[in-house]
């Protein structure tokens, strides 16, 4: 990135920060703040160990120094601007989750597809936090990172004192790590009385069990219900190993009978033949694979992590770090809703051919000098794929 491009980006970021609303975290005066400035680039210099005593002071810093990247600590400190971490005197920390598209399995090449994949992970994480951990919508602050994912901030007093080990256990639960599916669904052996042989019974969770048991129950019933209500359900059910036509017909009858379906939701699986129990075991394992949320464990476990400031701009994309409510998450479109720059044409010299999809438009950008809408030009310059101007 040359000096002319840096000057242009700094000016446009500065224009944004003149009127931007920076979302201050709770007790922001007890946080450490850190910034990477355009003035220091192309070197990456983190100016950290900073603290601010008022919102006006913080706003002035954004407006005049113009960060390319802005962060604050998840931790609360007694002395947040101490230059030595030990001297800051850690008090407590928010609970943070980071979902990054690059950390997901089967990462697509398309940026919009990556963002859609990670949004689905964010929806699963919200389900865990609300259903399993009991946090209310007001307790969970969801933030689009401006880059490849989402951050979840929880500042509730019940989590602030948790150490790294406890936070890792939360990640283990959400990611299904160490989950023994055989304890939730499958054969369970029961010791007989004196003189009697041990017996086995098939265990199936109830939707009222809570936790992973309830999730697995709902997943399996929803999965089979969708097959039963589709075209050719018998054929689709018999595609599973061990499910014959007779068993498939029985499953269709059960799932079309509200009383029997109600019993199954309560974990009563006696009406299902032994053969179809293999199907339930298979779907139980499939449920875990599909329901886990892939979060970045080191971020959650680090009680002194710096996290992006909501309302700031991401210097690697030009997109806004955007705060969302849970009700807004499903319909949120990062490449529309997090775009802050205008449509006016900007001349750039493209160095890396790209496909840019933003604000409902798709641009196939070849190397060389050309005009692009400002929002697309800034995105490409921030990504290092173009320089400002014609030379």
pLDDT tens-digit map of 329-381:
999 999 999 999 999 999 999 999 999 999 999 999 999 999 999 999 999 99
Give 49-71 pLDDT, tens digit per residue: 999 999 999 999 999 999 999 99
For residue 37, the Cα-to-chain-centroid distance in whole angstroms is 27
pLDDT band at 189 (very low <50, low <70, confident <90, very high): low
Q: Which residue has the tokens 């401006």?
A: 146
Give 236-295 pLDDT, tens digit per residue: 998 887 788 888 888 898 899 899 889 889 988 876 766 677 888 889 999 999 999 999
Distance CA 332, CA 321 (A): 13
Q: How large is the C-alpha radius of gyration of the chain?
A: 26
Backbone angles phi, psi at 200, to 5 degrees: -120, 150
Distance CA 352, CA 366 (A): 7
Helix, strand, coil percent content, the chain, rounded in steps of 5: 45, 20, 35
Beta bridge partner(s), residue 140: 154
Distance CA 303, CA 164 (A): 7
Helix 3-19 crosses helix 374-382 at what angle (to 10 degrees)? 120
Q: What is the DSSP string of 378-390?
A: HHHHHTTSEEES-
| pLDDT score for 242 | 76
- pLDDT at residue 79 greater than cutoff 80: yes
Dihedral of CA atoms 8, 5, 40, 385 in degrees, nearest 10, equals 130
Is 36 in contact with 13 (CB distance < 8 Å)? no
Task: Specify the pTM.
Answer: 0.89
Is 23 in contact with 58 (CB distance < 8 Å)? no
Q: Cα separations (Å) of 287 from 13, 54, 198, 254, 316?
A: 45, 48, 30, 21, 36
Is 340 in contact with 355 (CB distance < 8 Å)? no
Q: What angle do CA 16, 18, 20 make, to 5 degrees?
A: 60
The H-assigned helical ranges of the chain are 3-19, 55-65, 85-88, 111-127, 157-160, 164-175, 211-228, 233-238, 245-255, 258-265, 274-291, 297-301, 326-329, 334-337, 374-382
Beta bridge partner(s), residue 348: 370, 388
For residue 246, give every residue at least 6 positions away whose Cβ sits within 8 Å of its Cβ, in sequence order, or none: none
| Residues annotated as catalytic (active site), given as ranges | 98, 100, 296
């Amino acid at each position: 990135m040359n000096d002319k491009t840096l000057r242009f980006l700094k000016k446009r970021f500065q224009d944004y920060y003149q009127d931007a609303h920076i979302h201050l975290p709770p007790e922001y005066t007890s946080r450490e703040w850190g910034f990477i400035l355009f003035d220091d680039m192309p070197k990456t210099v983190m100016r950290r160990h900073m603290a601010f005593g008022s919102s006006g002071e913080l706003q002035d810093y954004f407006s005049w120094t113009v960060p390319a990247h802005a962060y604050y600590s998840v931790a609360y400190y007694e002395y947040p601007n101490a230059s030595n971490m030990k001297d800051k005197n850690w008090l407590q920390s928010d609970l943070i989750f980071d979902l990054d598209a690059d950390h997901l399995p089967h990462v697509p090449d398309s940026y919009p597809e990556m963002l859609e994949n990670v949004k689905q992970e964010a929806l699963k994480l919200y389900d865990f936090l609300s259903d399993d951990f009991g946090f209310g919508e007001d307790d969970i602050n969801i933030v689009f990172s401006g880059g490849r994912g989402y951050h979840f901030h929880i500042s509730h007093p019940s989590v602030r004192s948790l150490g790294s080990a406890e936070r890792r256990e939360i990640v283990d639960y959400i990611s299904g790590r160490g989950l023994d599916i055989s304890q939730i669904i499958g054969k369970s052996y029961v010791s007989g009385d004196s003189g009697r042989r041990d017996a086995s019974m098939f265990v199936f969770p109830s939707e009222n069990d809570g936790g992973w048991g309830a999730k697995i129950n709902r997943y399996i019933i929803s999965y089979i219900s969708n097959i039963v209500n589709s075209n050719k359900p018998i054929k689709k059910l018999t595609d599973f190993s061990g499910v014959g036509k007779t068993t498939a017909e029985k499953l269709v009858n059960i799932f079309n009978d509200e009383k029997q379906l109600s019993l199954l939701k309560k974990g009563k699986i006696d009406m299902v033949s032994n053969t179809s129990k293999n199907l339930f075991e298979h779907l139980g394992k499939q449920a875990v694979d599909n329901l886990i949320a892939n979060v970045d464990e080191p971020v959650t476990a680090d009680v002194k992590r710096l996290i992006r400031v909501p309302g700031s701009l991401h210097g690697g994309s030009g997109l806004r770090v955007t705060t969302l409510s849970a009700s807004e998450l499903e319909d949120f479109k990062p490449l529309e809703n997090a775009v802050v720059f205008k449509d006016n044409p900007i001349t750039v010299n493209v160095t890396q051919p790209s496909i840019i999809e933003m604000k409902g438009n798709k641009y196939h950008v070849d190397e060389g000098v050309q005009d692009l809408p400002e929002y697309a030009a800034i995105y490409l310059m921030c990504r290092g794929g173009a320089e400002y101007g014609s030379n």
